[in-house]
Structure 1
């Protein structure tokens, strides 16, 4: 294990003509399959790399350009190991650029992502709605469940081996064998060497838009809840410190459910918003 596992995950190697390879370590999995948020982060990293690799001299890019929005359709669930990406710049603008990424493994398409690139907000917002998530402590309190090696969830949520994750036990009713509303709150933080790199920190924040256990578990529905489509917005560059995450759903259908994530940084600013369409566990 390196000191910067998430940077390693999102390091892509150019192969020419818009082609890249990346290596996904087994820690970035939920059960045997690669975590969907991590796949999104790899796609976003490939999009940013191609945009910078092919930037013409007359249109230099601001180093602060990162993925602002990633809309991903999940075609197959790849295994950890080598993946390939084919990246196409669809629009190159001074404020907004659009990039398509197709991620595959052994010739089998896994993810198709449309990535919007630009510089996120940095100034004070004109208006912001008060977030109930802001009532959660900035750092995990003693009663929070840290997903360390001997925690039951850590046996499935292997991503906890490459970052720090803690769960708010007052919202995760499934941890005590109870049921409650489909809402889970937690804390996430990259390791210090990953947090210190602005691009890696931004990609990690994008990943946290899919970091929660499926909220269906609070209704007694366990098992794999495959993501079909996920759209994530990076609203601001995250400040150093813990990220507070709230995952929730309003409709758990017979086959489908939506899951929304809101992510606040240590200052209380909204840094990530996401919505996914997923399937009810069988």
Structure 2
């Protein structure tokens, strides 16, 4: 069972590599299991902490590629990190989230050398209207989804249709109790929420969990609200895809995709 802790964090550290989930981590498909989103943030934090312990040149994360190998009970988890492809300017690093010796979530991240490309920066993607714009209305996803994680999300959602829409999200809950983490780790702990915020069908009609999540980034996210412009597609043979363009209040910053297994109830 989750630890009884002061509200305000998703995990409490129990050792150098172990963490216990709080009540804020319980999932939307099954409240006896962890929602995978906070664990994704935990793995991103572990990769950054490992990088900073090994080197001081601040390689920047360009891709986060998660594979979800199973489900996690509301119990202590362990994190391990290894460098798969070391390099002076490019690295591939893997982090694994395990329970009871069983790997459940695996992250492979590409880390790239920083360069000053401000003179070249730009995108054809239009920025979202800021969170203060009247097009956004407060929406509580707990009206649709159970679980402690969803209950921590504050959303402002715009006009939408089944499977298409844009929204801003933030959470007051810290990733790890009493420990600072980067904005990237905070964002990594939120983006999995995309699969369900403008769903094609209600969860009573079908199961459609994602089995992976890949985020490609063009810059580090800014503090504040995280914006997502999301599209959900179901194919005819049990496959689905959720794709989202990521934004902050400075503009677009990357894309996220999630492969779904679609199972009618």
TM-score range, shorter chain: 0.7 to 0.9
Q: Which moved further from structure 2: 75-84 or 43-52?
A: 43-52
8 Å contact from structure 2 (residues 195, 210) kept in 1: no
Matching residue within 250, 254, 260 for 2:243: 260
Matching residue within 184, 187, 197 for 2:168: 187
Measure, in 2, the Cα distance between the counterparts of 1:210 and 1:193. 16
Residue in 2 aligned with 1:245?
228
Measure, in 1, the Cα distance between the counterparts of 2:185 and 2:193. 13
- Show CA shifts across 1:220-277 (max 9, x none): 5645422112211232222233221112134533311111111111122x22311111
Unaligned runs of 5+ in 1: 15-19, 174-179
8 Å contact from structure 1 (residues 50, 89) kept in 2: no
Measure, in 1, the Cα distance between the counterparts of 2:130 and 2:260. 29
Q: Which moved further from structure 2: 139-148 or 271-280?
A: 139-148
- Asked if 1:228 is matched to 2:211, the reply is yes
Measure, in 1, the Cα distance between the counterparts of 2:102 and 2:157. 35
User: For residues 263-278 of structure 1, what are the structure 2 equivalents within 5 Å?
Assistant: 263-268=246-251, 270-278=252-260
Matching residue within 125, 131, 138 for 1:138: 131
Residue in 2 aligned with 1:21?
18
Q: Report the count of equivalent residues.
A: 252
Measure, in 2, the Cα distance between the counterparts of 1:83 and 1:107. 9
Measure, in 1, the Cα distance between the counterparts of 2:21 and 2:216. 23
8 Å contact from structure 2 (residues 218, 254) kept in 1: yes
Measure, in 2, the Cα distance between the counterparts of 1:266 and 1:192. 20
From the superposition, tell whether residues 205 and 90 of structure 1 become closer, same or farther in structure 2 (CA, over 3 Å).
same
> Shift in Å at residue 185 of structure 1?
2.0
Unaligned runs of 5+ in 2: none
Residue in 1 aligned with 2:143?
152
8 Å contact from structure 2 (residues 18, 77) kept in 1: yes
Superposition CA RMSD, Å: 3.3
TM-score (norm 1): 0.74
8 Å contact from structure 2 (residues 136, 156) kept in 1: no
Residue in 2 aligned with 1:48?
48
Aligned with 2:156: secondary structure?
strand
TM-score (norm 2): 0.78
8 Å contact from structure 1 (residues 120, 234) kept in 2: no
Residue in 2 aligned with 1:107?
101
Residue in 2 aligned with 1:17?
none
> Which structure carries more helix by proportion?
1
> Shift in Å at residue 120 of structure 1?
6.6
User: For residues 74-223 of structure 1, what are the structure 2 equivalents within 5 Å?
Assistant: 74-118=68-112, 123-124=117-118, 125-131=120-126, 134-139=127-132, 141=134, 144-147=137-140, 151-153=142-144, 156=146, 158-168=148-158, 170-171=159-160, 173=161, 180=162, 182-191=163-172, 199-214=181-196, 217-220=199-202, 222-223=205-206
